[in-house]
């Protein structure tokens, strides 16, 4: 008897827990229902993936989409549109918007926008601060919440947590993995005068030096160990941090960005000026080599883009008044696939860093692998395709990328979310966004975890 699927993907090579396999994939009601050779199956839609590789849907676990309040830089609609065009099927969005995401009402306001405008699946961080520290154990378990994010530096107002007593209170109130931007605010303030005098963006990694990152990382890890609290250190950028964090497993997980793996100082600052400015900074080749070593020895758990756009007019302000941050969600896979092509990491390892890793660390339900019963989210890529990344391809409101003009080998071709082809052959297939909130095993609202 013939079996009917909503979607069958035929002819591709899928990256599964068994390795890379030449199999077909059948999807019904947004889930994977059959894998292998499927001669007895038919489908309402079939997708020919011959010559392509099928990855479990890539998740970018660090983006700043600036909505509400800063929509001249970015929006949830534009940011998630860029995500799916770049092969990303889900994102975790950060709390430094206006208003800040500090309570249930703030979270629900973002979820309402995403329900209308998001092209990919989504979750939102709550910001950890003195203003809400005692409520975080409840807030972190709200449906659609990715967890709590703490800024030890590089933030403002209620989101800046540079007080040890407040940080300890945050660590004690909650049990989910706590994400942290670790730069020592007092050291940054002391050293700002160095660049105020020079106005030279090439000194950005000198102002925000490796010690600024290491001091903060050591402090928050020490406090987390005292409280037995799981920790996730974002955008680790230095060799010194990696050496320290190697002794902190498994309580502490590690993220790196494509920017720190790809750009190097001083070249990027000489070519791009303030467009290369981000926090923590892009550093020299010694640090980049240490990050690659940490990927190869398994110390790094995930790759996140730290997509944090500003307009070109804002970036053209004199340094250091120019804001830090750059686009990244749309270029995460093209840039990292180019590293795969260059032999710096395997496709299986990239899959772990962008799919299985986020699912494992944050308790995502149904994500992270191509397996029976899992959500039918796929990033389908052509490992042989050579393309040039250009500003006009970028969907972000800001409209630029630090990789403009860069030739890469490896490109996202189709993006499948919930068994639905949202992008085919690099183009959107629908006029209507179809993203949904992601589900977490540690949410209080788990009734939707069963099929």
- Residue identified by tokens 């699946």 is 121
Q: Write out the H or E segment, with its range, that includes residue 28.
A: strand 24-28
Burial of 57 (0-12, 13-18, 19+ CB in 10 A): buried
Token couple for 117: 């405008």
d(CA 27, CA 5): 6
DSSP string, 193-232: HHHHHH--GGGHHHHT-HHHHHHHHHHHHHHHHHHT--EE
3-state secondary structure of 298: coil
Which of 326, 313, 304, 297 is closest to 396 using CA atoms?
326
Examine the residue annotation and report whether 306 is marked as an active-site residue of this protein: yes
The DSSP symbol for 392 reads G
Q: What's the Cα-to-Cα distance from 100 to each of 31, 64, 337, rounded to whole Å?
A: 35, 12, 34
The DSSP symbol for 156 reads -
Phi, psi (rounded to 5 degrees) for 68: -85, 165
Burial of 222 (0-12, 13-18, 19+ CB in 10 A): exposed
Q: Choose the catalytic residue: 24, 106, 117, 306.
A: 306
Beta carbons within 8 Å of 97's beta carbon, 6+ residues apart: 65, 66, 67, 68, 69, 70, 110
Residue 4, Cβ neighbours under 10 Å: how many? 11
Residues taking part in catalysis? 306
């Amino acid at each position: 008897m013939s079996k009917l699927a909503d979607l069958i993907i035929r002819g591709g090579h899928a990256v599964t827990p068994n390795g890379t396999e030449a199999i077909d994939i059948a999807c019904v009601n947004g889930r994977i229902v059959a894998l292998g050779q499927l001669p007895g199956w038919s489908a309402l839609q079939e997708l020919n993936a011959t010559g392509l590789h099928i990855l479990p849907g890539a998740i970018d676990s660090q983006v700043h989409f600036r909505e509400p309040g800063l929509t001249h830089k970015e929006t949830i609609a534009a940011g998630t549109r860029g995500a799916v065009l770049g092969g990303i099927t889900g994102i975790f969005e950060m709390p430094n918007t206006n208003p800040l995401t500090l309570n249930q009402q703030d979270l629900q306001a973002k979820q309402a926008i995403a329900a209308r405008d998001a092209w990919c699946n989504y979750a939102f961080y709550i910001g950890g601060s003195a203003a809400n520290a005692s409520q975080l154990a409840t807030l972190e378990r709200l449906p659609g919440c990715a967890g709590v994010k703490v800024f030890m530096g590089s933030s403002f107002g209620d989101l800046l947590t540079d007080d040890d007593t407040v940080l300890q209170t945050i660590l004690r109130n909650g049990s989910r993995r706590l994400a942290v931007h670790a730069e020592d605010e007092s050291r940054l303030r002391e050293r700002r005068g160095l660049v105020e005098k020079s106005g030279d963006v090439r000194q950005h990694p000198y102002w925000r030096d490796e010690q600024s990152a290491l001091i903060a990382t050591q402090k928050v890890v020490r406090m987390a160990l005292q409280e037995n609290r799981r920790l996730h250190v974002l955008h680790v950028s230095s060799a010194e941090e990696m050496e320290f964090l190697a002794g902190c497993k498994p309580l502490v997980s590690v993220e790196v960005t494509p920017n720190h793996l790809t750009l190097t100082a001083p070249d990027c600052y000489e070519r791009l000026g303030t467009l290369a400015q981000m926090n923590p900074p892009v550093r020299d080749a010694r640090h980049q080599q240490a990050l690659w070593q940490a990927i190869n020895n398994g110390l790094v758990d995930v790759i996140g883009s730290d997509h944090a756009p500003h307009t070109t007019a804002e970036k053209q302000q004199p340094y250091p008044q120019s804001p830090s941050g750059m686009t990244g969600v749309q270029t995460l896979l093209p840039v990292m696939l180019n590293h795969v092509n260059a032999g710096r990491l395997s496709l299986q390892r990239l899959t772990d860093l962008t799919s299985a890793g986020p699912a494992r660390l944050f308790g995502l339900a149904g994500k992270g692998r191509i397996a029976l019963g899992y959500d039918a989210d796929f990033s389908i890529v052509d490992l042989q395709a050579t393309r040039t990344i250009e500003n006009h391809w970028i969907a972000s409101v800001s409209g630029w990328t630090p990789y403009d003009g860069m030739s890469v080998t490896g490109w996202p071709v189709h993006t499948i979310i919930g068994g639905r082809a949202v992008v085919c052959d690099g183009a959107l297939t629908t006029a209507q966004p179809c993203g949904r909130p992601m589900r977490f095993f540690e949410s209080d609202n788990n009734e939707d975890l069963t099929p």
